[in-house]
Amino acid sequence: MNLYRVDIKTGYLCNNNCYFCVQAQNRHYGNRTTQEIKDALITAKKKGANGVVFTGGEFTIRKDAVELVAFAKELGFESIQLQTNGRMFANMDFAKRMVAAGANEFGPSLHGYKPEIHEYLTRAPGSWSQTVKGIINAKKLGLRVVVNSVVVKPNYRYTPQLAKLFVKLHVDQFQFAFVHALGNAAKYYEKMMPVMSLAMPYIKRGLKIGILNGIGVMVEAVPFCMLKGYERYAAELYMPDTMIKEPNFWIDNFEEVRKREGKKLFPQCKTCRFRFVCEGPWKEYPEKMGIEEFKPVPGEIIKSKQEILNNEKEFPIIPKD
Ligand code: SF4
């Protein structure tokens, strides 16, 4: 299936309060109405979307969450993903109702291999065991489980342990997403923002644990010059075409907007072999951390993402280090 996905931001209320939440400043807007979301789904379908990601805030704490998933199913969306902190899935009855309504992909966030790390970040006591139980329940119900972990200063050293936990939980895929300094992550910048080049050795070890155990892995918002040996695991190589329904406007081509307004390349990138396929880091990163870490990679110019995926010799599936 060629996936054209719509991300529906269903509102901003959440039962976690993460130190790095990019939406934190929007909480006072609350949630959108059931009808607004149904209208957005209908419009997205007319625009040609065949996949939907329900996101927030926290989508699953809405009273109408099951009804909205059923509505998306009725409209004919083939892929229905819940992007969630996963806590509500600790309740097996709720998880079963979601699956019966049509949810087929579970995208929980887990940021620490043990409660002390995860709950320091989510500022929600009990959230670790609920999310872990949610993952176990989702797997029992046969959902594809795609976990996201935001990499921040307090957790980057533990990404290999986190990867081991994901292996134990039999997740289908995990992604390490480098923190984006918006919302709370901007407010708590000093506390949250790691130096990328210091975090990378740990992130790579975590990725390798997943790779060697046959789990899909990705790393988001990290440029290729930081990914030596792991280039084919850049999330940007795989992101499907996506439109986004923000409360008041549509973004029809998220990739274009992300590159133009979200990410940043540097003067030195002009001589890098990845310059035509690289998006650079989130643009807020170099504003405080500088640009010296990003060193152009010498070699034959890479013209398309597919060239990386097709070239197993230069960009091996099993990293050598
Ligand atoms: S040097 Fe620039 S173009 Fe090259 S990988 Fe790094 S950020 Fe991307």
CA dihedral 183, 187, 188, 190 (to 10 degrees): 120
Determine if ligand 1 sits within 6 Å of the CB of residue 281. Answer: no
Determine if ligand 1 sits within 6 Å of the CB of residue 282. Answer: no
Predicted local distance difference test score (pLDDT) of residue 29: 82
Q: What distance in angstroms lies between residue 222's CA and the mean position of ligand 1's atoms?
A: 10
Task: Note whether 230 and 175 are within 8 A (CB).
Answer: no
Predicted local distance difference test score (pLDDT) of residue 41: 96
Determine if ligand 1 sits within 6 Å of the CB of residue 230. Answer: no
Task: Note whether 118 and 91 are within 8 A (CB).
Answer: no
- 118 burial level (CB within 10 Å; 0-12, 13-18, 19+): buried
For the chain, list the domains and their CATH numbers. Answer: 4-263 (3.20.20.70)
Predicted local distance difference test score (pLDDT) of residue 98: 98
Determine if ligand 1 sits within 6 Å of the CB of residue 223. Answer: yes
Determine if ligand 1 sits within 6 Å of the CB of residue 146. Answer: no
147-189 pLDDT per residue, tens: 999 999 999 999 999 999 999 999 999 999 999 999 999 999 9
Predicted local distance difference test score (pLDDT) of residue 1: 66
Residue closest via CA to ligand 1's atom 7 equals 280
Which of 265, 273, 300 maximizes ligand 1 atoms within 8 Å of its Cβ, making it the mutation to test the pocket? 265
Q: What is the position in ligand 1's atom list of the atom closest to the CA of 272?
A: 4
Successive 10-residue mean pLDDT values, the chain, 321 residues: 88 95 86 94 94 95 98 97 98 98 98 98 98 98 98 98 98 98 96 98 98 98 98 94 78 81 94 97 96 97 96 95 80
Predicted local distance difference test score (pLDDT) of residue 241: 76
Other CB atoms within 10 Å distance of the CB of residue 41: 22
CA–centroid distance for 80 within its chain: 15
Predicted local distance difference test score (pLDDT) of residue 314: 96
- 73 burial level (CB within 10 Å; 0-12, 13-18, 19+): middle
Determine if ligand 1 sits within 6 Å of the CB of residue 56. Answer: no
Determine if ligand 1 sits within 6 Å of the CB of residue 207. Answer: no
CA angle 22, 32, 103 (to 5 degrees): 80
Residues in the chain, total: 321
- 216 burial level (CB within 10 Å; 0-12, 13-18, 19+): middle
Copy the structure tokens of residue 172: 């289908």
Copy the structure tokens of residue 220: 């988001």
Determine if ligand 1 sits within 6 Å of the CB of residue 315. Answer: no
Other CB atoms within 10 Å distance of the CB of residue 103: 28
Q: What distance in angstroms lies between residue 146's CA and the mean position of ligand 1's atoms?
A: 27
Q: What is the position in ligand 1's atom list of the atom closest to the CA of 273?
A: 4
